[in-house]
């Protein structure tokens, strides 16, 4: 069954990568809404301000690891601190171009991270994320 989450947030400093990922998500039909941030600091501001009918909370964050100023690991630590203030529990999956086993081990031991996928993002990776983390989702992909 094809599923669609209400909202996916992309956080990656590389604009070409976010455009590519946005296209993959749209063509896959994985999300009704896509929020893009090329700055993890700006994404944190978005996530830590109240959500309204016009400002939706992401269900899934796809987070780059290697970014200047604040990398994915620093983002996770800042998000963890912000969660103490009552932030929603959002599924976060790291995206990486590396095959470094240490990064995979770090993801496995971090309670806020739900996994790691290799770049470039693919239909198969989205299918796996949806199957593992959103298997009870009742929304279906619209044609």
* Residue 139 belongs to a domain: no
Candidate ranges 34-43, 77-86, 102-111; pick with highest mean pLDDT: 34-43
Beta strands in 3-47 (DSSP E): 5-11, 31-37
Q: Is the pLDDT of residue 61 over 90?
A: yes
Structural domain range at position 103: 5-133
Q: Is the pLDDT of residue 140 over 60?
A: no
Q: Is the pLDDT of residue 5 over 60?
A: yes
Distance CA 131, CA 125 (A): 10
Number of domains in the chain: 1
| Greater model confidence, 131 or 54 | 131
**Exposed/middle/buried for 22, CB within 10 Å: 0-12, 13-18, 19+?**
middle
* Residue 116 belongs to a domain: yes
Predicted confidence at residue 2, as pLDDT, reads 59
Give the CATH number, domain containing residue 63: 3.40.50.2300
DSSP run (H or E) holding 18:
helix 15-28
User: What 3-state class would DSSP assign to 6?
Assistant: strand
DSSP run (H or E) holding 134:
none
Q: Is the pLDDT of residue 40 over 50?
A: yes
Q: How many CB atoms neighbour CB 143 within 10 A?
A: 5
* Residue 143 belongs to a domain: no
pTM given for the model = 0.89
pLDDT digits (tens, 9 = 90+) for 65-77: 999 999 999 999 9
């Amino acid at each position: 069954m094809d599923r669609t989450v209400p909202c996916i947030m992309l956080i990656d400093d590389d604009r070409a990568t976010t455009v590519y990922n946005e296209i993959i998500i749209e063509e896959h039909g994985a999300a009704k809404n896509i929020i893009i941030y090329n700055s993890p600091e700006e994404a944190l501001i978005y996530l830590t301000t109240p959500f309204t009918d016009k400002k939706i909370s992401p269900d899934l964050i796809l987070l780059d690891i290697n970014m200047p100023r604040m990398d994915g690991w620093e983002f996770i630590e800042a998000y963890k601190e912000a969660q103490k203030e009552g932030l929603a529990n959002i599924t976060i999956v790291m995206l990486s171009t590396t095959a470094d086993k240490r990064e995979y081990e770090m993801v496995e031991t971090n309670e806020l991270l739900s996994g790691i996928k290799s770049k470039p993002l693919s239909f198969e990776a989205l299918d796996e994320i949806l199957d593992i983390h959103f298997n009870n989702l009742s929304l279906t992909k619209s044609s």
